[in-house]
Amino acid sequence: MAQAEQSEPTTTSAGPPAFCGTPLREQEWQALTEIVSTCALSRSELARTICEALGWVRRNGGLKTRECYEYLGTLEERGLLVLPAKRPQRPRGPTSIHFTEASAPREWQEAELGEVLPVTLGLVTNGSERALWRELIERHHYLGHKVPYGAHLRYLVWMGAKRELCGCLQFSSAARRLAVRDRWIGWDDQTRQRNLVQVVCNSRFLILPWLRISGLASHVLGLGARLVVEDWLEAYGVRPVLLETFVARERFEGTCYRAANWIELGTTAGRGRMDRHTRRSESVKTCFIYPLVGDFRRCLGVAG
């Protein structure tokens, strides 16, 4: 699955760009610049301090630290602020993943869906489950494991009465800007920024490669679409109304998504999520979406 290009905050007619679609008041701008200029903090610490000071919180009460961190970067790019240098990051991702027998290939298995029911999805909630999820994705998914951008939930997939492990699923923050999706919804930039939190991306999906079970993949997608609504609401205080995903055109046709009634919208521009200046080239992906409610456009701020 791909991640689409990153958007920039909307610029108002005067003053700094808007934050998450909302123009800054003069006193907010003064407080922000004072914190940056007087507090000897890292960028992450500055973002958290600013959110606390200005009350920039999510619907569930959590701070908008990630959004503020990006916003500060945009202000720096535009010459409106001078930020401290970025601190070196600790190595993350695949280097810390070790393969065990739990993810080792098994004998080829063919069956009909009815033979492996019930299929269940378990939300990953502890260290051992996270380690298993990462190991399976790194070993068997063509993209491998990467630390997801923003909010995310992960699931392990089990089948049959004996709960045989059969796959993995991940939902994460939606692409910040995606032309084919935004046109289809009917978004302008400000409406998108206000309502993007209600769109969630299916950013990883794996059925273990030795399984050939007709209908399993689309069945899992259907279960995931139902479960993630309440799980995302509980975790982040937002009820999703639309899902999106990206399928590598050179590898897959998206058959299981079509079978699960996802809608094909078109293709991405082949740019990375954080590519603000069209400098990074990625493979072109097919974009699919799945409405979770009938009036999703109204929920996303589009009249009619």
246, β-bridge pairs: 287
Q: What are phi and psi of 303, to 5 degrees?
A: -75, 150
Q: How many CB atoms lie within 10 A of CB 184?
A: 15
- Give, to the nearest 10 degrees, the angle between helix 43-54 and helix 26-38: 150
Specify burial of residue 101 (Cβ count, 10 A radius: 0-12, 13-18, 19+). Answer: exposed
Domain definitions of the chain by residue range: 1-89, 94-299
Q: Which CATH superfamily is domain 94-299 in?
A: Gcn5-related N-acetyltransferase (GNAT) (3.40.630.30)
Digit-by-digit pLDDT tens for the chain (304 residues) are 443 333 344 444 457 888 887 889 999 999 999 999 888 888 888 998 999 889 998 877 788 888 898 899 889 988 899 998 887 655 544 447 889 999 999 999 999 999 999 999 999 999 999 999 999 999 999 999 888 777 899 999 999 999 999 999 999 989 888 999 999 999 998 899 889 989 999 999 999 999 999 999 999 999 999 999 999 999 888 899 999 999 998 888 899 999 999 999 999 876 554 444 444 456 889 999 999 999 999 999 998 6
7 in Cβ contact with 187 (< 8 Å):
no
DSSP 129-155: HHHHHHHHHHHHSTT---PPSSSEEEE
Per-residue DSSP letter, 293: S
168, β-bridge pairs: 156, 206
User: Is the pTM above the cut of 0.75?
Assistant: no
